Amino acid sequence: MQSEVARTQVLSYAHPSAQYNTNPFFDMPNKRDLKRTIQTICDDVFAECIAISLYEGGVQEENVESLLTSIIVTRNDFVSRISHPEPGMSQKKYYDKLAHDFAESISEIIDQMGYLTKPKQ
């Protein structure tokens, strides 16, 4: 359930009409805008992770650091994938796959952030 909410937030942040579209980069005119969208989403997730680490009690520092590292690695990976598309694949297919992979990756990170605050049993 939480990953579906995260996916919806990522999609709606990327484009106002994205609630009706599965591609968060719908109608993006150029690569620069795609990069900015990825950067902005990753910045927001990064800031949220920092806020959780500062304001929630009992959060292990190494878990937060690994999440922050994974956000940075994800951002760098997807920005570089925009600049270097796979040969032999149509651009539409490639960028649709890129958008889907990015949404999945961010949803996974947001799910992990949710586990930071849950008490261990």
**pLDDT tens-digit readout, 21-44:** 555 555 555 888 889 999 999 999
Give 3-state DSSP helix, strand, coil % of the chain, rounded to 5. Answer: 75, 0, 25
Which pLDDT score is estimated for 60? 85
Distances (CA, A) of 49 to 12, 63, 65, 117: 20, 10, 9, 11
Is residue 47 predicted with pLDDT exceeding 80? yes
Q: By three-state DSSP, how is residue 87 classified?
A: coil
Name every residue whose Cβ is closer than 8 Å to that of residue 21 and which is 6 or more positions away in sequence.
11, 15
Which pLDDT score is estimated for 16? 43
Alpha-helix runs per DSSP H in the chain: 2-14, 31-55, 61-83, 91-117
Query: Can you tell me which residue has the tokens 């649709």?
Result: 96
Burial class (CB in 10 A: 0-12, 13-18, 19+), 38: buried
Whole-structure pTM over 0.75, yes or no? no
Assess contact for 21 and 15: CB atoms under 8 A: yes
Is residue 73 predicted with pLDDT exceeding 90? yes
